Amino acid sequence: MESSSLRKNVVLLTDCLKDLEGGAERQIFELARRLDKEKYAVTIASLECGSAAPRERIEAAGCRLLTFPVKRIYGPEGLVQGFRFVRFLKANRVRILVTYHFSSDIWGAVTGKLAGVETIISNRRDLGFWRNNKHVRAYKAVNAWVRKIVVVSQAVKDVVIKEEDVPETRIEVIYNGIELIDTRHKAQETSREALGLKDDDIVIMHVANLRPVKGHEYLLRAFETVTKSSRRIPNDQWKSGPRLQSDPEASGQGHTTQVKLVLIGEDELGGSLQELAGQLGIKDKVLFLGKKKNAREYLSLADICTLPSLSEGMPNAALEYMAAGKPVVATRVGGTAEVVTHGVSGLLVSPQNVEELAAALGELVNDREKRVSFGNAGLADVQKRFAMGHMVACYEKLFDQYVDFDKPRVLHLVSSIGLFGAERVILTLAQHNAKVISIVGALNNRHNPHLEVVDEARRNGLETFIFDSFGPFDPFTIGRLRRYLKETRVDILHTHNYKSDIIGFLATCGLHCRWVATNHVWHGRDEKLKVYEAIDALILRFAERVFTVSAAIKDDLVSRRISPERVRVIDNCIDLEKFKIDFDREGFRQSLGIEENEVVLLIAGRLDEEKGHTVLLRALTQVRDAGPWKLLIVGDGPLRDNLKEQAAAAGLSERVVFTGIRRDMPQVYAASDIMVNASFIEGLPMTILEAMASRLCIIATTVGAVPKVIQDGISGVLLKPGDVEGLSQAVLRLIQDAGQRQQLARQAYQDVCQEFSADRMSEQYFENYREVLGC
């Protein structure tokens, strides 16, 4: 096998590769063919299946083909060929082994473990309708050696979690891909005539080998109903209206449209379906074409495609139907509903339900416009979600998680209480630091679960992991994290608050993984937080780097005997592009109950004593009659009810809007006029940077790094924490002076663009990562 220091050896192992026409075989071949050959040297390995695989085609794609004559993995040949495979894996230093189907999953996991393959990835491609208890027990026995299980649909994922007791975090959903090719003119003109089909016949087509699970029996019985109950459409009426791309140029006027059924696939039932068609009296309307190498080309002849399966994992046939621009009638099984959208790209019916299937087919037979609409929608959906290139990109992203391509792997870990400043810094850093492979991790505190940062990371396409933690301090969490660091070869663990610092320090002891931490805010106001700070300061002495968001925090850490050489000040930054939005501002304000002439004040953050909400409400009591204004309080927390009571007691209930936690903060900022940060404790608050990027006028307290960001009287207004009188005067002045608001906002925007971009922060962190790793 050709290899180099830059290419990593990958093996795709399957039970049988007798041709490349089957669903899984085609997916394997396309993955092998399209993987980046500058990064990967790819081998396709196949167990015995009684037929030679197309070697020339595989080698022409830049891949190697190996066969191992194993019919029973538990027999002597399984043992002999297993040692042969182990020698191959070791000799070629295979880094990733991907297995497909049961025999390969079990045999490959055992041999891969013996060979010391770092990453074994197993596949589940169906709902396991063929499994018995022995199969499930075998999977459970080897799953401990498998790094990831790839499933082809959410439905298959649910089955694996339930039957095999696999944690959700070890399962990756990667939909099958479909190669988008134009088949409109490859068989249309000649094959209709050759098959005895007339140009104006309405053709229903099912492409699948004739076996019970594919539901042919139910289709034939439903088709009998369709032929009896569907109206016979005059030819001239059938031709009218919008056309499918595959519509033939019909000619002649004296003919009435017939409905025909075309079945393509190898007969594995010994002619029993042909006998059934004769018994139902529809034999002259059903064409059994047998297996066709160019089956996709025949789709151009169809007006409706159907998939009445009893079980499916991820139906390749449905993807092919939609890629050909055909409306689909399918059973609601497995991953089919994740492919075909009912009422949009097709119709879904219950499995084994002849009446429902007949009704759905009849509906499309008699509604040409719906056939056109469904076909176009299906094609658009395939192009967007199921292109082959997208599938390959998902696999490459998965492979890159486990193979070192000169990019350090960094796990950001936080014990979160919501999607606030520290969490937003983590997300920004993970998204913008392209020089490292970033993973967003969160402790799942079962007593107070907050996984918003993980949810947001997943929406942004970032790799994530959740570490369960039972109780305020769960020592078993340390073991869970330690195993993850070892198994996934994380180079740097980057923790972001008290609890994650303690767990991260203990988990990395004795590992190659380096530990760094960011201190986002200092100090706590209550005795409990002060105890946490003292413990954290002791732990942080052992970190290889401690990052702070202000010089004041650095000075305090140094005073607590943390080496100044290990402490670095890196300003928080933001992704400026997220706040360049175009939206209906007035409509959005109306949805929040804001009238056209009202000046909108905004305070955003956790509803906690240290954030100064109480001070702001006291200040606003003094400007209650200063003109039309409203206050938006964004966030949630323990003070919510108290703040509502305070607002009511001050007569401000009509002027204060509690929005709760919002996921549309760019719109909220853009709908506001003045941002207020009345905190007693801050590091470098992300809300201030986000408000600056949104061109808001800002009033803030002189805490943490805020004076470094806001220049009093130039880019905002600064006040001492707790200054009720000063805050009320500043609010009054800015409510009444729109010109000053705009002037301060313009300067704030210029400052944030110049000093606080996400790229700048990411580069500073990366340079520190390099120093820590000694590279």
Which segment of 106-115, 228-237, 700-709 scores lowest on mean pLDDT? 228-237
The amino acid that residue 773 corresponds to is: L
Q: Domain 579-756 is classified in which CATH homologous superfamily? A: Glycogen Phosphorylase B; (3.40.50.2000)
DSSP string covering 105-165: HHHHHHHHHHHT-SEEEEEE-S--TT--HHHHHHHHHHGGG-SEEEESSHHHHHHHHHHH-
Assess whether pLDDT exceeds 50 at residue 22: yes
The amino acid that residue 698 corresponds to is: I
DSSP string covering 688-735: HHHHHHTT-EEEEES-TTHHHHPPBTTTBEEE-TT-HHHHHHHHHHHH
The amino acid that residue 185 corresponds to is: H
> How far is 85 from 105, CA to CA, in rounded Å?
14
26-40, 308-322, 340-354, range with greatest mean pLDDT: 340-354
Q: What is the mean pLDDT of the chain?
A: 88
Assess whether pLDDT exceeds 70 at residue 313: yes
Instruction: Please state the rounded mean pLDDT for residues 493-519.
Output: 93
Instruction: Please state the rounded mean pLDDT for residues 43-64.
Output: 84
Instruction: Please state the rounded mean pLDDT for residues 660-667.
Output: 90
Predicted confidence at residue 461, as pLDDT, reads 77
Predicted confidence at residue 524, as pLDDT, reads 53
User: Domain-by-domain residue ranges, the chain?
Assistant: 8-173, 188-386, 406-569, 579-756
Contact 78, 70 (CB under 8 A): yes
> How far is 43 from 12, CA to CA, in rounded Å?
6
Assess whether pLDDT exceeds 90 at residue 717: yes
Assess whether pLDDT exceeds 70 at residue 237: no
Predicted confidence at residue 458, as pLDDT, reads 83
Predicted confidence at residue 243, as pLDDT, reads 37
Q: What is the pLDDT of residues 599-653, one digit of tens each?
A: 999 999 989 898 999 999 999 999 988 889 999 999 999 999 999 999 999 999 9
Instruction: Please state the rounded mean pLDDT for residues 276-285.
Output: 95
Cis status of the peptide bond prior to 613, with omega within 30 of 0: no
> How far is 78 from 87, CA to CA, in rounded Å?
14
Q: Domain 8-173 is classified in which CATH homologous superfamily? A: Glycogen Phosphorylase B; (3.40.50.2000)
Assess whether pLDDT exceeds 50 at residue 238: no
Q: What is the pLDDT of residues 137-155, one digit of tens each?
A: 999 999 989 989 999 998 9
Handedness of CA 203, 204, 206, 211 (dihedral sign): negative
Predicted confidence at residue 489, as pLDDT, reads 79
Domain covering 406-569 in this structure, CATH number: 3.40.50.2000
Predicted confidence at residue 2, as pLDDT, reads 42
Long-range pairs of 447-453 with CB within 8 A, sequence gap ≥ 24: 447/471, 447/472, 448/417, 450/416, 450/417, 450/418, 451/416, 452/416, 452/418, 452/419, 452/423, 452/661, 453/414, 453/416, 453/419, 453/423, 453/426, 453/427
Assess whether pLDDT exceeds 90 at residue 81: yes
Query: Which of the 8 DSSP states describes residue 342?
Result: B
Q: What is the pLDDT of residues 435-454, one digit of tens each?
A: 888 999 999 887 788 889 99
The answer to whether 8-173 and 188-386 have equal CATH topology is yes
Percentage of the chain modeled with pLDDT above 90: 60
> How far is 603 from 594, CA to CA, in rounded Å?
15
Assess whether pLDDT exceeds 70 at residue 58: yes
What is the H or E stretch that residue 424 is in? helix 421-432
Predicted confidence at residue 187, as pLDDT, reads 47
Between residues 178 and 185, the one the model is more confident about: 178
Which segment of 311-315, 327-331, 439-443 scores lowest on mean pLDDT? 311-315
Between residues 405 and 258, the one the model is more confident about: 258
What is the H or E stretch that residue 604 is in? strand 599-604
Assess whether pLDDT exceeds 50 at residue 218: yes
Instruction: Please state the rounded mean pLDDT for residues 685-714.
Output: 93
Assess whether pLDDT exceeds 90 at residue 84: yes
Predicted confidence at residue 571, as pLDDT, reads 85
351-355, 537-541, 704-708, range with greatest mean pLDDT: 351-355
Q: Residue 408's pLDDT band (boundaries 50, 70, 90)?
A: confident
Assess whether pLDDT exceeds 70 at residue 174: yes
Q: Which residues contact 421 (CB under 8 A, 6 or more apart)?
A: 520, 521, 572, 605, 683, 685, 686, 687
Between residues 56 and 699, the one the model is more confident about: 699
Instruction: Please state the rounded mean pLDDT for residues 510-524.
Output: 83
Predicted confidence at residue 446, as pLDDT, reads 79
Which segment of 125-134, 257-266, 745-754 scores lowest on mean pLDDT? 125-134
Assess whether pLDDT exceeds 80 at residue 472: no
221-235, 270-284, 396-410, range with greatest mean pLDDT: 270-284
Assess whether pLDDT exceeds 90 at residue 504: yes
Contact 705, 684 (CB under 8 A): yes
Predicted confidence at residue 256, as pLDDT, reads 61
Predicted confidence at residue 52, as pLDDT, reads 65
Predicted confidence at residue 6, as pLDDT, reads 62
Q: What is the pLDDT of residues 91-134, one digit of tens each?
A: 999 999 999 999 999 999 999 999 999 899 999 988 887 788 99
pTM above 0.85, yes or no: no
Q: Is 347 helix (H, G, I), strand (E, B) or coil?
A: strand
Assess whether pLDDT exceeds 60 at residue 3: no
Assess whether pLDDT exceeds 80 at residue 320: yes
Assess whether pLDDT exceeds 60 at residue 483: yes
Domain covering 188-386 in this structure, CATH number: 3.40.50.2000
